[in-house]
Structure 1
Amino acid sequence: MIEGRIIKGIGGFYYIETEKGLYECRARGIFRKNKITPLVGDFVKISVVDEDNKKGVVEEIQERKTELVRPPIANVNKALIVFAVKNPTPHLSLLDRFIVLAERENLEIVIILTKIDLDDDNTFEKIKNIYEPCGYKVIGVSNLENKNIDKVKEELKDNTVVFAGPSGVGKSSLLNQIDSNFQLKTGDVSDKIKRGKHTTRHAELFELKFGGMVADTPGFSSLTLDDIEDIDLKDYFIEFEDYDDCKFGSRCIHQNEPNCAVKEAVENGEIPKERYESYIQLLNEIRQGKRRY
């Protein structure tokens, strides 16, 4: 068998990059029987059924180090979460959803804010002032003005990175700026609905000419946290970690409990109010979702 990595999956076909070239493969039926779906980013072993036409079968999937549900991708070590400062308007609740899902997989997180050439109301600084004190690096870029593209390259170099974010924020355009070999399709923002048109239809890993791999992924307008328990959500808001002297200790959910250190930190301006409000919103959504089942 040959070892390789899935770089693309479309319609039940998986494209495996190996030292012997790229193979188009189907997966063994046993995976479907065991309810296992191969993911882009998976390290696999394949058997070759047609060497001339580079056809094979996925026989084994190696243990995953990380696994994201949306976007569905495995074995990345860093998430670049991309939002625009304008057109479409950034929704911080959605940004926090992406952060929670990336934190759950223990990924290093960098926030990229695009279209800063359109930033006429200081949105970049407002968002930066919320997230940098929490421990996240925030980089503002302009594809049009080629601004700070090198800073993004530094974050990508020698890493396996997922680009995630809503449609229309310029993820594909940014990747085209980073490496001209990509030539990814890009789309405009719909004037009617003020959301981006979906130009990336599937997750795909691309090799960077300066080292590392990056996944361009479909944009999402909403993300659910159905598989996260309410008691665990606080663990993915990393700024809460510094305030562990609540009256109820680790059992404190930082909502209605008395003598809560996190709530006191919010009142004192030590934790951004916007992040705490987002946390409460997500907490309530998780509870409502659990009640539906």
Structure 2
Amino acid sequence: MRTGRIIKALSGFYYIKVDEEVYQTRARGIFRKSGMNSPLVGDIVDFESDNLTEGTLTTIHERKNALKRPQVANVDQMLITMSLKSPDFSFYLTDRFIAYSESFDIEPVLIITKKDLNTDEALIEKIKETYKMYKIFFTSKEHFDEDLREVFTDKLSVLAGQTGVGKSTLLNTLLPKLGLETGEVSKALGRGKHTTRHVELVEKNGGLVADTPGFSTIEFTHIEKEALKYCFIDFDMPSESCKFRGCNHINEPKCGVKSAVESEDINRTRYESYLQIYEEIENYKERY
């Protein structure tokens, strides 16, 4: 019995890396017959194999998390890619991706592209202040932040972000051998064309990154509305002064989070994003 990580899944085969070797395997029929979770790229698994091409995947180890799009398990960090221009930066969309990342216990890392197209320095300062609790990198075609390469070390990373912000371009810069097709931004729609492919984990600076442009749309059907507040980590400390245990920071009196918003210790755009997502989750539950 061997143990390794699935780095690629394609046409019913699972490619498992152990040290420097990659084994081609198929999953045991029990995964299909019993309704068990199918193996995902990123899974740590046990398998049996006498050679590199005829192995059998037998066991999936417990996962830290599992995303549906892209289908990757045990993700350590999400590289949330947003642009300053074309399309314009959106605090609300950024907050959505951050909350989504936090809901899976994945560390958010913000990558802000197209800095060369922005002339509003106040916007950059507002972004830095709003998201000072996270790592933030600013890039452009002319200037790539070399420090960004170091965030991969000992991490499994995926990309996420609004369509057309340059996720494929960013991946091509980080992983030049990929040659991902980049979608041009539609001037009429203000968003880009989707470019997709199967998921494969590629080694980068001592870590692994999913070689896919990631995803641009998300839903919060997987969490309860009462859990959303834990996905806004800047609420944690102010919430300690809430009068009521279990305060959701909506209509409750003597709420520490609402007080922090009024005193500008919490950015109001963050709180407004929270309210919108909370209402969205509430509507999900009413509908289903």
Report if TM-score (shorter chain) is over 0.5: yes
Does the alignment pair 1:270 with 2:265?
yes
Q: CA deviation at 1:45?
A: 2.1
> In 1, distance between residues paired with 2:171 and 2:213?
13
Q: CA deviation at 1:283?
A: 0.3
Closer/same/farther in 2, CA of residues 21 and 265 from structure 1, 3 Å limit: same
> In 2, distance between residues paired with 1:166 and 1:86?
12
> In 2, distance between residues paired with 1:118 and 1:42?
39
Match of 1:29 in 2: 29
Paired residues of 2:78 and 2:158 also in contact (CA < 8 A): yes
State the AA in 1 paired with 2:284: G
SS at match of 1:90: coil
> In 1, distance between residues paired with 2:195 and 2:22?
24
State the AA in 2 paired with 1:118: L
SS at match of 1:73: coil
> In 1, distance between residues paired with 2:36 and 2:92?
32
Match of 2:125 in 1: 125
> In 2, distance between residues paired with 1:169 and 1:266?
30
**Segment of structure 1 superposing worse, 259-268 or 9-18:** 9-18
Q: CA deviation at 1:262?
A: 0.7
State the AA in 2 paired with 1:82: T
1:240 aligned to which of 235, 238, 250: 235
State the AA in 2 paired with 1:85: L
> In 2, distance between residues paired with 1:28 and 1:232?
36
Residues 93-108 of structure 1 aligned to structure 2 (within 5 Å)? 93-108=92-107
Closer/same/farther in 2, CA of residues 197 and 10 from structure 1, 3 Å limit: farther
Match of 1:211 in 2: 206
Does the alignment pair 1:292 with 2:287?
yes
Sequence identity (%): 47
> In 1, distance between residues paired with 2:193 and 2:14?
25
Does the alignment pair 1:41 with 2:42?
yes
State the AA in 1 paired with 2:109: V
Match of 1:165 in 2: 161
Paired residues of 1:113 and 1:124 also in contact (CA < 8 A): no
Paired residues of 1:85 and 1:119 also in contact (CA < 8 A): yes
> In 1, distance between residues paired with 2:253 and 2:14?
53
1:195 aligned to which of 191, 195, 217: 191
Match of 1:112 in 2: 111
Paired residues of 2:103 and 2:223 also in contact (CA < 8 A): no
What TM-score results when the alignment is normalised by the length of structure 2? 0.90
State the AA in 2 paired with 1:265: A
Q: CA deviation at 1:19?
A: 4.1
The alignment covers a number of residue pairs equal to 285
Closer/same/farther in 2, CA of residues 194 and 29 from structure 1, 3 Å limit: farther
1:227 aligned to which of 210, 213, 222: 222
Gaps of 5+ in 2: none
> In 2, distance between residues paired with 1:204 and 1:104?
23
State the AA in 2 paired with 1:121: D
Match of 1:258 in 2: 253
**Segment of structure 1 superposing worse, 2-11 or 73-82:** 2-11
SS at match of 2:236: helix
Closer/same/farther in 2, CA of residues 10 and 34 from structure 1, 3 Å limit: same
What TM-score results when the alignment is normalised by the length of structure 1? 0.88
> In 1, distance between residues paired with 2:97 and 2:24?
31
State the AA in 1 paired with 2:138: G
Closer/same/farther in 2, CA of residues 86 and 46 from structure 1, 3 Å limit: same
